[in-house]
A = this chain, B = another copy of it.
Amino acid sequence: MRLRDVGEFGFIARIERAAGPARGPVVVGIGDDAAVLRARPFEDVVVTTDAVVEGVHFRWDRESPRHVGRFALAACVSDLAAMGARPLGFTAALAAPADLPLRAADALTAGLLEGARRHGCPLVGGNVTRASETSLTLTALGAVARGRALTRRGTRAGDRVLVTGVLGAQALARARADAGRGRLARVPEPRLAAGRLLARTPGVVACIDVSDGLRADLAHLLGPGRHCRVSPDRLPVARGFRAACRSLDLDWETLATTGGEDYELLFTVRPQGPAAPRLARRLGLPVTELGRVERGAPAAFEKGGFTHF
């Protein structure tokens, strides 16, 4: 069976059945002209859009369709986490060749719905269309107390730079897959609870999720005219990470600083704000202080990063 055998509306009906009835903040779900979501009074709405394209962001020989769906949703929901928002729901636009096996299309949906349950972010609508390659464009909506969204703005010289979890794990997994040592399977965990806690922690200034790699995202967070020197021994990496990099003949520092797709939260805190150990206890996650924000042009460390064109 191919996608064309069930058609656009047939495939949407399959998704609707798999997703089940609307619940929680979903007033109207899949199947109308638009979805209707209910935030609480005096909440702001947060919205973010992400796309993954076959041959650019994923390859069928390296990832299962289920993994593509799971990963794409984690990446999108991570932007809600970086704003300190709780999820309301998401829409999915699937573009695919008409001869895509129905099994693959169903597995993509299954991956999305698995992520939806895990992150408490229901699938509420979307679009299905023909295209020459497969792509998935997701838009996640969230809610945050009015005026309390955690943006990238506001960092000053003297603020401290911190990051949750470990870096480079996804880059290492991709390098392993490239070296023919298994398919991609691990899905990063969007830091939703941590983001909501940070948005309510006095002294926390600005936040971004590490999607393009520490170097590039640090530059986005600090903006022009500010930089932060990060000593390599401050870079948080998993146990065995350096040895694994060596065995693949890779420079561990490069992977940890430019790898991307870690989806940890990178944030700044005022000098008098909470220290890393207190934040770690509050968030229930490892938190590492990378350095202090300084005035002036960024050093080589903060330059560069992954761009698509």
Cα A192 to Cα B227 in complex, Å, equals: 47
Q: Are B35 and A129 in contact (CB under 8 A)?
A: no
Q: Are A34 and B129 in contact (CB under 8 A)?
A: no
Selected from B45, B93, B133, the residue in CB contact (under 8 A) with A38 is B45
Chain A contact-residue range equals 35 or more
Nearest to A42 among chain B residues (CB) is B41
A231 within 8 A of B: no
Q: Which of A109-129 contact B (CB under 8 A)?
A: 124-129
Contact with B along A35-68 (1 / 0, CB 8 A): 1111101101111111101011100000000000
A146 within 8 A of B: yes
Nearest to A55 among chain B residues (CB) is B132
Cα A7 to Cα B304 in complex, Å, equals: 13
Provide the residues of chain B in CB contact with A35, threshold 8 Å.
46-48
Contact status of A4 and B309, CB under 8 A, knowing A33-B79, A85-B34, A144-B36: yes
A131 within 8 A of B: yes
A139 within 8 A of B: yes
Distance from A155 Cβ to chain B, minimum over Cβ atoms (Å): 13
Distance from A17 Cβ to chain B, minimum over Cβ atoms (Å): 16
A204 within 8 A of B: no
Distance from A110 Cβ to chain B, minimum over Cβ atoms (Å): 19
Selected from B8, B10, B36, the residue in CB contact (under 8 A) with A45 is B36
Q: Are B37 and A307 in contact (CB under 8 A)?
A: no
Q: Are B39 and A39 in contact (CB under 8 A)?
A: yes
Contact status of A132 and B132, CB under 8 A, knowing A34-B82, A45-B36, A47-B91: yes
Nearest to A9 among chain B residues (CB) is B307
Provide the residues of chain B in CB contact with A144, threshold 8 Å.
36
Q: Are A209 and B33 in contact (CB under 8 A)?
A: yes
Selected from B98, B139, B208, the residue in CB contact (under 8 A) with A91 is B139
Contact with B along A147-178 (1 / 0, CB 8 A): 10101110000000000000000000000000
Provide the residues of chain B in CB contact with A38, threshold 8 Å.
44-45, 146
Contact with B along A1-30 (1 / 0, CB 8 A): 001111111110000000000000001100
Provide the residues of chain B in CB contact with A140, threshold 8 Å.
34
A32 within 8 A of B: yes
Q: Are A48 and B91 in contact (CB under 8 A)?
A: yes
Contact status of A48 and B33, CB under 8 A, knowing A308-B7, A309-B3: yes
Provide the residues of chain B in CB contact with A124, threshold 8 Å.
47
Q: Are B135 and A95 in contact (CB under 8 A)?
A: yes
Residue from A4, A45, A130 whose CB has the most chain B CB atoms within 10 Å: A45
Closest CB pairs A-B (n = 5) = A34-B48, A8-B308, A49-B91, A41-B41, A33-B82
